Amino acid sequence: MPNKTPLRTHSAELFPYPNQDGHLLIAGKGITELINIVGQTPAYIYDRQQISQTINSLLEQLPTQVQLHYALKANPMPALVQHVANYVHGLDIASHGELLIALNSGVLAENISFAGPGKTEQELVAAISSGVCLNVESENELKHVDRLGKQLNTLPTIALRVNPDFELKASGMKMSGGAKQFGIDAEKIPNILQSLAQYQLNFAGLHIFCGSQNLNSDAIIEAHQQTFALAAQLLHGIDDYQSINIGGGFGIPYFAGDKALNVEAITHNLHELLKQYPQFQQKKITIELGRYLVGEAGIYISQVIDKKESRGKTYLVCDGGLHHHLPNSGNFGQVIRKNYPVHISKKQAHKTRAHTEEREMEYVTIVGPSCTPLDTLADNMLLTKAAVGDYVVILQSGAYGRTASPENFLGHPHVKEMLV
Ligand SMILES: *Cc1c(COP(=O)(O)O)cnc(C)c1O
């Protein structure tokens, strides 16, 4: 019997993927076995052990003063959140729906922070009543929270989300610098801090989040240096606050040529920064990560329904596609579509003929069932030869999958999720 080996680790080389004799194993189970348990394709399978290993190895490197939060946006499956909650210090949420998942996971409200523009009154009331920290995104929102706190006879806890005047370079998605819908421009913060005394609010600190999916440790280190400097400047002369959330943005490799993020360099720099800024030594420094903690721990499996040739090109047509996995189709903010790592898994692992057959390769384009050319899972990739009934496994699919996709598009069946 195979060992319970995790899908892969951050330190492992991106290609080829760890497997046993060409067979992917998650929690010791092969693809056919996993499909038998989950009961259908398409399905997402998430690997608990992979997630906890990733988190633990990051925690080992981080200064003890640094708190690690998980951003639910990346994958809000309740069982997965519950699992992650066992290892991290807190959770970051961005809606009332995520608030309930976070609270249901058993994490204390004081360790949950709620960011995001356009929070509704219902969301603010729920956040204040439960006691989570509101990362306030505008001056209007600050006044609204103060008013609601008085009405509810509850002291709201708030952090000010700052839109700094710098950006996180080389990010997949930039969320700071220049004009942004996120946070309050840094130059407006000093006046707001001065005015806080006129509100009835518990001021927790600052939140500075610059961007997402970054594989360049130098860029993250530079943003951390700028973030510490900005926080020191804005909080100069103020001591009654608890924490500074310095954001995240750690990326994972998806495409040929991507290199895993040098996390050691980033954590080393954080140790240095804490020495450089002794005024923060009694404070909590929070980093919030979504994708980095869970992205490599998930796969998306679909089944080949048809195989056809069209003018020299071979197509595998699957039951899964962009309606479950929009980022894999290249339509979630990517400028140029690139192939995610794909693994072909034979439906029956024929013990005798498997070895020759499974080594035969061919160029294929893999598409989903939706009536749009956007529904592409893989374009012109050299993969193990597949037949109708075999499985197409998309790796690096633990984050921004199901809930980042238009699941009702064309009315195809919903995807199932399983945490093993
Ligand atoms: C999206 C988001 C995150 C998570 O980003 P990842 O790239 O998944 O790590 C964290 N914090 C905030 C404020 C976000 O908007």
Q: Which atom of ligand 1 is nearest to the CA of 173?
A: 7
Do 242 and 161 reside in the same domain of the chain?
Answer: yes
Residues 362, 244 within the same domain: no
Q: What is the CATH number of the domain that holds 372?
A: 2.40.37.10
Question: Percentage of residues in the chain with pLDDT exceeding 70?
Answer: 92
**Beta strand 43-46 with 298-310: parallel, antiparallel or unpaired?**
antiparallel
For tokens 């949420």, what's the residue?
93
Residue 356 lies inside a defined structural domain of this protein: yes
In a domain? residue 57: no
Between 19 and 169, where is the model more confident?
Answer: 169
Q: Is the domain of 29 the same as that of 151? A: no
The answer to whether residue 17 scores a pLDDT higher than 90 is no
Considering the domain boundaries, does residue 30 fall inside one? yes
* Residue of 55, 80, 92 to mutate, ligand 1, most atoms within 8 A of C-beta: 92
Whether residues 243 and 356 share a domain: the answer is no
pTM: 0.94
Strand residue runs (E) in 80-236: 90-93, 112-114, 133-136, 157-163, 171-174, 184-185, 202-207, 211-214
289, 311, 341 — which closes off a domain? Answer: 289
| Residue 116 maps to a domain | yes
Spacing, Cα 248 to ligand 1 middle (Å): 7
pLDDT reading at 11 higher than 80: no
Provide the pLDDT for residue 142. Answer: 98
If one counts the domains in the chain, the total is 2
User: Both 154 and 281 in a single domain?
Assistant: yes
16: preceding bond cis by omega (within 30 degrees) = yes
Closest CA to 376 of 338, 407, 343: 338
Domain check: are 141 and 252 in the same one?
Answer: yes
Q: What is the whole-number distance in angstroms between the Cα of residue 215 and the centre of ligand 1?
A: 14
Percent over 90 (pLDDT), the chain? 85
With DSSP H G I counted as helix, E B as strand and the rest as coil, what are the percentages for the chain, rounded to 5?
35, 25, 40
Q: Maximum Cα–Cα distance for the chain, whole Å?
A: 78
Residue at 101 is within a domain: yes
Q: Outline where DSSP puts E strands in 94-154.
A: 112-114, 133-136
Q: Note whether 317 and 411 are same-domain residues.
A: yes
pLDDT tens digit sequence for 185-233: 999 999 999 999 999 999 999 999 998 999 999 999 999 999 999 999 9
Contacts of 149 (CB under 8 A, 6+ apart): 128, 155, 156, 200, 201
* Residue 71 within any structural domain of the chain: no
Q: Across residues 159-168, what is the average pLDDT?
A: 93
Distance, CA of 215 to CA of 232 (rounded, Å): 26
Q: Is the pLDDT of residue 144 over 60?
A: yes
d(CA 137, CA 333): 23
Kindly state whether residues 134 and 152 are assigned to the same domain.
yes
pLDDT of residue 23: 79
pLDDT attached to residue 349: 59
Q: Which of 248, 266, 289 is the last residue of a domain?
A: 289
Helix/strand/coil for 36:
helix
290-311 mean pLDDT? 97
What is the Å distance from ligand 1's center to 262 Cα? 19
Confidence of residue 41 (pLDDT cuts 50, 70, 90): very high
Report yes or no: 355 and 268 within 8 Å, Cβ to Cβ: no
Q: Whose CA is nearest to atom 5 of ligand 1?
A: 290
Q: Is 191 helix (H, G, I), strand (E, B) or coil?
A: helix
Of all atoms in ligand 1, which is nearest to the CA of residue 209?
A: 13
Q: Which atom of ligand 1 is nearest to the CA of 295?
A: 8
Confidence of residue 1 (pLDDT cuts 50, 70, 90): very low
Check which CATH number belongs to the domain holding 81 and give it: 3.20.20.10
Nearest ligand 1 atom, CA 399: 8
Mean pLDDT of the chain: 92
Q: How far is the CA of 293 from the centre of ligand 1 (A)?
A: 11
Structure confidence by residue, pLDDT tens digits, 353-376 = 555 555 799 999 999 999 999 999
Say if residue 263 is in the same domain as residue 164.
yes
Counting atoms of ligand 1 from 1, which one is nearest the CA of 207?
13
Residue 262 above 50 pLDDT? yes
- Confidence (pLDDT) at 13: 44
Cα(246) to centroid(ligand 1), Å: 11
User: Given 289, 304, 327, which residue is the final one in a domain?
Assistant: 289
In this structure, are 307 and 386 located in the same domain? yes
Cβ atoms of residues 225 and 212 within 8 Å: no
Confidence of residue 20 (pLDDT cuts 50, 70, 90): low
Q: What is the pLDDT of residue 4?
A: 45
Residues 358 and 236 reside in one and the same domain = no
Q: Ligand 1, atom 15: nearest CA belongs to which residue? A: 116
Domain membership of residue 175 (yes or no) is yes
Query: What does the pLDDT average to over 3-26?
Result: 54
What is the distance in A from the centroid of ligand 1 to the CA of 152?
Answer: 30
Residue 10 has pLDDT above 80, yes or no: no
Residue 2 in this model has a pLDDT that exceeds 70: no
Give the integer Cα–Cα distance in Å for 31 and 302. 10
Ligand 1 atom closest to the Cα of residue 172 is 7
Task: Using the mean position of ligand 1's atoms as its centre, give its distance from the Cα of residue 249 in Å.
Answer: 7
Q: Which atom, in ligand 1's list, is nearest to the CA of 400?
A: 8
Say if 55 falls within a structural domain: no
State which residues form the domain around 320.
11-46+296-419
Among 163, 212, 246, 397, say which to mutate for ligand 1: greatest number of ligand atoms within 8 Å of CB. 212
Taking only the tens place, the pLDDT of each residue in 376-405 is 999 999 999 999 999 999 999 999 999 999
The pair of structure tokens assigned to 298 is: 């998930």
Residue pLDDT, tens place only, 121-140: 999 999 999 999 999 999 99
Q: 317 and 279, same structural domain? A: no
The neighbour count for residue 11, using CB atoms within 10 Å, is 9
Confidence grade of residue 351 (pLDDT, cut at 50, 70, 90): low
User: Which residues line ligand 1 at a C-beta cut-off of 6 Å?
Assistant: 71, 73-74, 92, 115, 209, 212-213, 248-249, 288-292, 399
Q: Which of 69, 112, 175, 288 for a ligand 1 pocket mutation test, highest count of atoms within 8 Å of Cβ?
A: 288
- Confidence band (pLDDT; 50, 70, 90) for 21? low
Give the model's pLDDT for residue 119.
98
Give start and end residues of each alpha helix (H) in 39-115: 48-61, 78-85, 96-104
Q: Pairing between strand 361-367 and 313-318? A: parallel
